[in-house]
Amino acid sequence: MRLKQLALKEVIDVKEGKKLGVLGQADLKIDPSSGQILSLIILNRGLFQTKSETVIDWRYVQLIGEDTILINK
């Protein structure tokens, strides 16, 4: 799967039933030696452009579907 395909997917925490954000507004942390994804970093923007980050370890990704990525922390 290409990064472009991941960008439109919404990330949902299935344990809490909470929407965490859209991956297009995120970064990936990648191990440069192996090329493996280590974590997703979702940028959350508030009403007044305040920013915060949600870091999700890749091991918590349960399923990558057509429109969503389901995680279980």
For the domain with range 3-71, which CATH number is right: 3.30.465.10, 3.20.20.70, 3.40.190.10, 2.30.30.240?
A: 2.30.30.240
Q: How far apart are CA 11 and CA 5, in angstroms?
A: 13
Give domain limits for the chain: 3-71
Strand partners, 24: none
For the full predicted model, state whether its pTM sits above 0.85. no
- pLDDT, one tens digit per residue, over 9-65 is 888 999 999 988 777 767 889 999 999 999 988 876 666 666 778 889 999 999 999
| The two three-digit tokens of residue 43, written as one number | 């940028």
